[in-house]
């Protein structure tokens, strides 16, 4: 019995030592490995987590709703639909001839293959169909999405409503500094200011002023009053969502600053509500 007791003690000690060693090894590995790049929208206690590519597509879908003057509910429906149809990736294949973010079919009149693979065209086509539905603003997600998509699995859209609502609230600007990305810091010279300026102008039009570029800094004027600050937050958070594509290092707006690195948070700053300042690699 005495030997048995000693054996139990030895086993217990070895277990403790092994546990400590495992924790140290795990910590070392976590320190050496880079943090995964991801984006989050946190609104009302719910957090939606996406890859940078997914986030960029969600932001584009939302920006088009903002430009068209549609309610945030329209963006929620569109994002939830795209999450179900394509997981927010611009797919080049699908069931039969289905393509793109919404798995639209050329044979069903959504456009040519090239048009549907353009996310701007695909999103506008979705909204064109959605706004024709009387009362879509108050419909449950499944009903509104199904009226547009005619899916064989209409109830599947409902599971994406919480994520869609959080993303739409943040990316329309109703929820400020609620969307952020944890990204690697872009290398010097990797920024694409001219391409970014073209895209902002295409998507937001006269909701923002004309972006100007000086060196590695872009300034985006935001109109005062009315919906200006909300549109400003929509554009600012859109820029964060596209940071990986365009080599953006930081975005500053309305007293907040987001920077690429190990945090996805917006920190307190001194930025004006009248302009967004973007620093590129």
The per-residue pLDDT for range 153-209, each reduced to its tens digit, is 778 899 999 999 999 999 999 999 999 999 999 999 999 999 999 999 999 999 999
Classify the phi-psi angles of 255: left when phi > 0, otherwise alpha if psi is within -120 to 50, otherwise beta: left
CB neighbour burial string for 104-115, b if at least 16 within 10 angstroms, e if fewer:
bbeeeebbeeeb
- The Cα 168–Cα 153 span in angstroms is 23
Tens of pLDDT, residues 20-55: 444 443 343 334 435 689 999 999 999 999 999 999
Considering the chain, what is the average pLDDT of its residues?
A: 89
Beta strands in the chain (DSSP E): 38-43, 46-50, 179-182, 212-214, 217-221, 248-253, 256-259, 266-268, 275-280
pLDDT value at position 34? Answer: 52
**% of the chain surpassing 90 pLDDT:** 81
Supply 237's token pair. Answer: 């958070």
pLDDT value at position 35? Answer: 67
């Amino acid at each position: 019995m005495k030997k048995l007791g000693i054996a139990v003690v030895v086993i217990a000690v070895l277990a403790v030592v092994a546990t400590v060693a495992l924790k140290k090894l795990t910590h070392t590995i976590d320190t050496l490995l880079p943090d995964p790049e991801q984006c989050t929208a946190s609104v009302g206690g719910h957090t939606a987590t996406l890859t940078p590519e997914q986030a960029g597509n969600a932001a584009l879908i939302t920006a088009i709703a903002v430009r068209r003057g549609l309610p945030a509910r329209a963006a929620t429906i569109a994002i939830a639909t795209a999450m179900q149809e394509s997981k927010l990736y611009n797919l080049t294949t699908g069931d039969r001839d289905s393509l793109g973010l919404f798995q639209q079919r050329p044979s069903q009149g959504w456009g040519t293959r090239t048009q549907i693979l353009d996310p701007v065209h695909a999103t506008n086509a979705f909204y064109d169909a959605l706004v024709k539905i009387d009362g879509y603003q108050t419909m449950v997600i499944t009903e509104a999405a199904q009226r547009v998509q005619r899916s064989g699995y209409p109830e599947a859209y409902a599971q994406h409503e919480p994520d869609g609502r959080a993303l739409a609230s943040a990316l329309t600007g109703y929820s400020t500094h609620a969307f952020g990305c944890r990204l690697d810091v872009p290398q010097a010279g990797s920024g694409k200011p001219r391409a970014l300026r073209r895209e902002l102008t295409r998507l937001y039009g006269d909701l923002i002023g004309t972006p100007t570029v000086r060196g590695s800094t872009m300034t985006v004027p935001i109109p005062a009053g009315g919906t200006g600050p909300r549109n400003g937050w929509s554009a600012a958070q859109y820029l964060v969502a596209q940071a990986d594509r365009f080599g953006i290092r930081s975005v500053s707006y309305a007293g907040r600053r987001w920077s690429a690195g190990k945090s996805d948070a917006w920190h307190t700053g001194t930025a004006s509500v009248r302009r967004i300042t973007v620093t590129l690699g």
